[in-house]
Amino acid sequence: MGTGENLEWEQRRRVEVETPPAKPFYEVVKSTVKETLFPDDPFRRLKRQPLRRKLVMGLQYFVPILEWAPRYSLRSFRSDFVAGITIASLAVPQGISYAGLANLPPVIGLYSSFVPPLVYAVLGSSRDMAIGTVAVPSLLLAAMLGKEVNPKLNPNLYLHLVLTATFFAGLFQASLGIFRLGMIVDYLSHATILGFMGGAATVVCLQQLKGILGLVHFTHATDFFSVLRSILTQFHQWRWESGVLGCCFLFFLLLTKYFSKKKAAFFWINAMAPLTSVILGSVLVYFTHAEKHGVQVIGELKKGINPASASELAFGSPYIGTAIKAGVITGVIALAEGIAVGRSFAMFKNYHIDGNKEMIAFGIMNIAGSCTSCYLTTAPFSRTAVNFNAGCKTAVSNIVMAVTVMMTLLFLTPLFYYTPLVVLSSIIISAMLGVIDYQAAIHLWKLDKFDFLVCISAYIGVVFGSIEIGLVVAVALSMLRVLLFVARPKTMILGNVLNSGTYRSVDQYPKAATVPGILIIHIGAPIYFANAGYLRERIFRWIDEEEEKIDNMSGTELQYVVLDLSAVGNVDTSGISMLDEVKKELDLRNLKLVLANPGGEMMKKLEKSMLMESIGKEWIYLTVAEAVNTCNYILHTCKPPKAAATVATTTTATTEIAAAAYDNV
């Protein structure tokens, strides 16, 4: 082949494996920031729209109610009205119960089911989420703030700290949404949340033994051994009347839940069961005067709607650091639960919710709530499931629920005077037993042992340590797994699948045939400083193992090392330096480095670092099959250079042979 023909072939090779055109630096930065913070490109619909239409659509984007309200119909209102009344029947007893779990006055739980749902109905993008208080953040607030201020001895300061923590939780949530940092929540993996929620639910159930057994004094610690010690040391103070009543109502609640699961059409039975329990318990106590025989009751609830509380936020308190810490942690947990619940139910109706918009909505409703005597709210799974099953169409169901709670606050609070605390404990235990998803944990064991380890570590950390310990352990293990994926990426030997031009892992396809004289190594991750050293060692370990195998079996001498870079989406300077070291070491061993299917970023780095010139563009191929065919052709036509010193002098001859091989592919 002449010089002209060789040049023509090289031009054809450059067409096959191209380097992306260079972009200005500001374009690269702009593209990276956009892809990081705006992967969903939320403003794509505004393009090519007149200015007035852009303003309207922009306003609708930030205030979703403006988008669907003009199309709202009476038929939709009928469905939302029924759903709203149904979830209100659940919101009232749950609100009172969870407020007690947070060591707050019961009326605070009712306040928290009035203002936040109204705010969310205006700003939220989910049609199904029902807003209210939840057990785990309630317990978290009690555990974290109760260490600093005793809610029994100093209830006013404690309440102010809870409201302040709610304010900072809302501020943190809104900030994540505004700055498009919702990816932070993604670090709470499914396994982490599963174990954490299960552990927290177990702790909540243990704490409710105080109400079931009618105990007055109880430990503020949340770990299993402290609760067990508190129960056993107060054995002589157990009240059998309270225990019998609690077990009866717990059995009733679990029975209605079981029946509703078996007969989906009767979901309303389970939804009405908590309010029915409250009514029955109150009537029973009123007529039997059980409050005089060891059954504790709620007592008087303050009438009237939410009083303003902006002036009560404890910004100048010496405990402000604890309030901020509690707000951030509970805010993240509430976000993770709320967004997960919203996305789950959105899938059933085939629509999409924007996670960042939801964060803004959650943040603003909690900021507004902290200024109106409400504590932290999100979207509880149980209440949202009832809302969904009741046939809600839009967020108007939250408005109906809020109005119903408002009527309760204005006119019905005296009726809750005789509500026994043991009934509220039964309601909480019934709800929490559904959160402990042991079947999902078993599924994790079958699917991924490491995820199961993360899940069970979170559970054990929460139950036997503390909620903070469990969360930290689970997140640390999840981060460790991410770091292991980056620092120790998968590499594998590829072979030719029988009767095809496809090359796959010989571990996955044991019958895949390796090519004599050619070692094909697949690198399964981007090459960064964290894994460059490991990959270099692993590549040469593969080479040593292959040469040892050839020596033992007297096979064809190894002459080519093909690196499959199809999974290498990016590479940094450490990665390029590693490839350069591999190239030099292979030259010393009289082996030829061949690259297959490098991506755009890899090609740019190879070209700018001059490594492409060192390797030779004729040794960079579009596919593994092309690279192997060329190397195989050369192996059967001539012997490659035997000494490293002669490599440079034989480049032209080798290029011509490679060109002929390419023409034969």
Q: How far apart are CA 615 and CA 595, in angstroms?
A: 9
Most confident option among 188-192, 285-289, 488-492:
488-492
Parallel/antiparallel/unpaired status of strands 491-496 and 503-505 = antiparallel
Q: What is the structure's pLDDT at 643?
A: 34
Nearest Cα to Cα of residue 200 among 476, 469, 381, 426: 469
Q: How far apart are CA 580 and CA 535, in angstroms?
A: 13
Residue 15 pLDDT greater than 60, yes or no? no
Residue 188 pLDDT greater than 90, yes or no? no
Q: What is the structure's pLDDT at 657?
A: 46
> Which region holds residue 497: left if phi is over 0, alpha if psi is between -120 and 50, else beta?
beta
Q: What is the structure's pLDDT at 19?
A: 66
Buried/exposed 128-154: b ≥16 CB within 10 Å, e otherwise:
bbbbbbbbbbbbbbbbbbbebbebeee
Nearest Cα to Cα of residue 554 among 587, 588, 516, 590: 516
pLDDT single digits (tens) 580-626: 999 999 999 999 999 999 988 889 889 888 898 899 888 999 889 99
Q: What is the structure's pLDDT at 5?
A: 47
Residue 540 pLDDT greater than 90, yes or no? yes
Q: What is the structure's pLDDT at 160?
A: 95
Please provide the average confidence, as pLDDT, over all residues in the chain. 83
Contacts of 209 (CB under 8 A, 6+ apart): 215, 227, 231, 425
pLDDT single digits (tens) 289-312: 887 777 788 888 888 999 999 999
Q: What is the structure's pLDDT at 1?
A: 43
Span 347-362, average pLDDT: 83
Span 642-650, average pLDDT: 34
Least confident of 102-111, 220-229, 373-382, 538-547: 220-229
Q: Exposed, middle or buried: residue 664 (CB in 10 Å: 0-12, 13-18, 19+)? A: exposed
Q: How many CB atoms lie within 10 A of CB 384?
A: 24
Length of the chain: 665
Q: Tell me the H-state helices in 105-154.
A: 106-111, 115-123, 135-146
Task: Identify residue 355 by its one-letter amino acid code.
Answer: G
Give the CA distances from residue 220 to residues 139, 359, 396, 459, in Å, rounded to whole numbers and listed in that order. 10, 31, 39, 19
Q: How many CB atoms lie within 10 A of CB 657?
A: 19
pLDDT-based confidence at residue 482 (cuts at 50, 70, 90): confident
Q: How far apart are CA 602 and CA 572, in angstroms?
A: 9
Distance spanning both ends of the chain, measured CA to CA: 17
At residue 338's C-alpha, the angle toward residues 476 and 323, to 5°, is 65
Q: What is the structure's pLDDT at 624?
A: 92
Determine the CATH number of domain 489-637.
3.30.750.24
Q: Tell me the H-state helices in 465-515.
A: 467-487
Describe the crossing of helices 320-348 and 135-146 by its angle, rounded to 10 degrees: 170
Q: What is the structure's pLDDT at 565?
A: 94
Span 75-92, average pLDDT: 88
Query: What are the residue ranges spanned by the domains of the chain?
Result: 92-481, 489-637
Nearest Cα to Cα of residue 532 among 561, 495, 570, 494: 570
Span 488-503, average pLDDT: 88
Span 97-121, average pLDDT: 92
Residue 12 pLDDT greater than 60, yes or no? no
Parallel/antiparallel/unpaired status of strands 560-564 and 620-621 = unpaired
Are the beta carbons of 524 and 506 closer than 8 angstroms? Answer: no
Residue 476 pLDDT greater than 90, yes or no? no
Q: How far apart are CA 661 and CA 665, in angstroms?
A: 6
Q: What is the structure's pLDDT at 495?
A: 93
pLDDT-based confidence at residue 37 (cuts at 50, 70, 90): low
Are the beta carbons of 375 and 110 closer than 8 angstroms? Answer: no
pTM (predicted TM-score):
0.74
- Please, what's the largest Cα pairwise distance for the chain? 109
Q: Which helix (H) or strand (E) holds 56?
A: helix 51-62
pLDDT-based confidence at residue 28 (cuts at 50, 70, 90): low
Which comes out higher in pLDDT, residue 636 or 170? 170
Three-state SS for 493?
Answer: strand
Q: What is the structure's pLDDT at 341?
A: 82
Three-state SS for 621?
Answer: strand
Task: Identify residue 307 by its one-letter amino acid code.
Answer: P
Give bridge partners of residue 378 from the DSSP assignment.
132
Residue 578 pLDDT greater than 70, yes or no? yes
* Six-digit token string for 151: 């809610």
Are the beta carbons of 302 and 143 closer than 8 angstroms? Answer: no
Nearest Cα to Cα of residue 457 among 203, 192, 225: 192
Span 379-396, average pLDDT: 85
Residue 522 pLDDT greater than 90, yes or no? yes
Q: What is the structure's pLDDT at 233?
A: 84
Give the CA distances from residue 221 to residues 226, 327, 503, in Å, rounded to whole numbers and listed in that order. 6, 19, 58
Contacts of 208 (CB under 8 A, 6+ apart): 425, 426, 428, 429
Q: How far apart are CA 385 and CA 128, in angstroms?
A: 8
pLDDT single digits (tens) 130-163: 999 988 889 889 988 988 898 888 999 999 999 9
pLDDT-based confidence at residue 365 (cuts at 50, 70, 90): very high
Q: What is the structure's pLDDT at 47?
A: 66
Give the CA distances from residue 620 to residues 15, 503, 519, 561, in Å, rounded to whole numbers and listed in that order. 12, 17, 15, 12
pLDDT-based confidence at residue 34 (cuts at 50, 70, 90): low
Q: What is the structure's pLDDT at 374?
A: 96
